[in-house]
Amino acid sequence: MKLTILASPLADRDVLRRAERLADRFNLEPRIVTDPEDVPDSPTVALVATGGTEDTIEALLERSSAVLLLHWHSYNSLAAALEVGVSTLHVGRAEEAIRAFKRLVGTRILVVGGKCSWIRGPDPSDLPYLQTVEVDLEDVKSVDPDGSFEEKLRAHGIDPSELNRNFLDLAGKLHAVLSQYGANAITGDCFSLYEEFGAVPCLYFSALDVPYCCEGDPAALVTTLLTPARIRPFIGNVIELDRYGTRLAHCACPLELLRELEIVDHMETGAPHAVKGVLPTGECVLARYPYAVGASVVETRWRDDQCRVQARLLVEEEFEPRGNHHCVALGVGPELVKEIFEAVHLNPSPSSE
């Protein structure tokens, strides 16, 4: 990946050499751009190196599908970005953001059957900054199941011999396709899979050790990839709102998060297999790109008429949900997530908002 160095044509050569050394520090290939006509259209990390770059910044944000925009404290760098009215991140705090950005544009994502019809954002395959592999249901049906995923179930104390055969067939076929295409993330039309196989992928998604999101929701997928949590986030639907916070629920959840794990039926279809369990209490980030807020998981109260993993969150500031799925990320502070989201500029947005 490149570091696009945005500089004035009058910039001193020593300034540019310093920027090139910064690229080496972040393991990026430097490219100096002084003319707005020369900005790339591919995803890039960009440093506003000097003042006099306002037109170049605007051209980059218009042309490139994804930009992580950085500044430093010298050479009128921040002043140029502020003149354009865009958010940037200081290079001294950029390492985690660069890792997240590389994950966003470098992850190979398996999209099975597209998105569910009710997701209002674009299809993941229509977002130019995502590396998607589109697979239709016929492709899934045609492969032989790969049972190696069952080891992931056993690692969590789940005996595959006690699970529904339709689920095992679906999960095995998804695992085979995931491996076949060398993908390291997954999403898709979960309900079309249910109609075709008589099972849902909730438990399979939960048992994997790669990023996932349900229903082909691009905003949830982008949020998951950009959030620098050590543990995959829980992605839940907003089911209640009040002045203090919200309750979320969903039928998939990373198994590494859950206590008191049970394998249950999916709430909406009654199909095998969903997961039920208790999230750990404590501080977290509640996020859906480009929005993030600090929160705390305070309790789990279970109701039969809601999805199977349920958690109540107290939110630190006013929370106005945008869209369906929201990510609950543990082990990461809200300020870091907010800084990353603000400095990453995506064209087009993954959300319908």
Q: What is the mean pLDDT of the chain?
A: 95
Q: Which residue has the higher pLDDT, 33 or 300?
A: 33
Fold topology of 2-104 = Rossmann fold (3.40.50)
Mean pLDDT over residues 336-344, rounded? 97
The pLDDT of residue 351:
86
> How would you classify the pairing of strands 234-241 and 325-330?
antiparallel
Q: Which residue has the higher pLDDT, 99 or 301?
A: 99
38 Cβ contact list (under 8 Å, min separation 6)? none
Q: What is the pLDDT of residues 320-337, one digit of tens each?
A: 898 889 999 999 999 999
Query: In this model, does residue 353 exceed pLDDT 60?
Result: no
Q: How many helices (H) and strands (E) does the chain have?
A: 11, 17
Q: Is the dihedral of CA 122, 125, 131, 137 positive or negative?
A: positive
Q: What is the pLDDT of residues 256-284, one digit of tens each?
A: 999 999 999 999 999 999 999 999 999 99
Q: What is the pLDDT of residues 121-165, one digit of tens each?
A: 999 999 999 999 999 999 999 999 999 999 999 999 999 999 999
Mean pLDDT over residues 71-82, rounded? 96
Burial code (b: 16+ CB inside 10 Å, e: under 16) for 183-212 equals: bbbbbbbbbbbbeebbbbbbbbbbbbeebb
The pLDDT of residue 281:
93
144 Cβ contact list (under 8 Å, min separation 6)? 172, 173, 176
Least confident of 67-71, 190-194, 200-204, 297-301: 297-301
What tokens does 103 get?
């994950």
Longest dimension (CA), the chain: 70
DSSP string of 46-84, one letter each residue: EEE-SSS-HHHHHHHHHH-SEEEEEE-SSTTHHHHHHHH
Spell out the domain ranges in the chain. 2-104, 107-346
Query: In this model, does residue 302 exceed pLDDT 80?
Result: no
Q: 274: which strand partners? A: 264
Percent of the chain with pLDDT over 70: 99
Burial tier of 316 (Cβ tally within 10 Å: 0-12, 13-18, 19+): middle
The pLDDT of residue 215:
96
DSSP string of 71-135, one letter each residue: E-SSTTHHHHHHHHT---EEGGG-HHHHHHHHHHHH-EEEEES---TT--S--GGG-TTSEEEEE
Query: In this model, does residue 352 exceed pLDDT 70?
Result: no
The pLDDT of residue 250:
96
φ, ψ dihedrals at 30, nearest 5°: -75, 145
The residue among 248, 215, 216 whose CA lies nearest residue 233 is 248
Instruction: Report H helices in 155-294.
Output: 165-180, 190-197, 202-207, 218-226
What tokens does 206 get?
């939960």
The residue among 44, 86, 50 whose CA lies nearest residue 63 is 44
